[in-house]
């Protein structure tokens, strides 16, 4: 994967996040729960910043409620599997996909109430 390599000794997380925002149209707060992604852990593990908007970040840092956690199995080469859990790299049942979508909806409604 192409990306901007980080120098953890020279740059801190804040500098790394500023570089992320130069390429990606994200909320300025890296801890915004609607990111559904742990950018701080990605930084700690040396994840390269995807060089283009829309390029893929590692799935292992996705929150369990991430909208793209579950993808069609045939997208990852498993035509016999309907759903693939990209975070945990395993097949998933449709009931799990539906449950996660409901939980995400409730979570987002809770955030709206707190505003």
CA angle (57 as vertex; 28, 62 as ends), nearest 5: 80
Give 100-111 pLDDT, tens digit per residue: 999 999 999 999
Give 53-105 pLDDT, tens digit per residue: 878 899 999 999 999 999 988 777 777 889 999 999 999 999 999 999 999 99
Cα–Cα distance for residue pair 60/72, rounded to 1 Å? 17
């Amino acid at each position: 994967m192409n990306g901007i390599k980080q120098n953890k000794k020279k740059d801190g997380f804040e500098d790394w996040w500023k570089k992320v925002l130069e390429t990606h149209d994200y909320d300025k707060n890296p801890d915004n729960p609607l990111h559904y992604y742990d950018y701080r852990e990605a930084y700690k593990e040396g994840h390269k910043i995807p060089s283009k908007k829309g390029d893929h970040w590692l799935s292992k840092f996705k929150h369990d409620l991430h909208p793209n956690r579950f993808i069609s199995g045939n997208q990852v080469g498993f035509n016999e599997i309907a759903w693939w859990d990209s975070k945990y790299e395993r097949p998933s049942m449709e009931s799990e996909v539906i449950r996660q979508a409901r939980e995400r909806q409730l979570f987002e409604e809770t955030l709206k109430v707190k505003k």
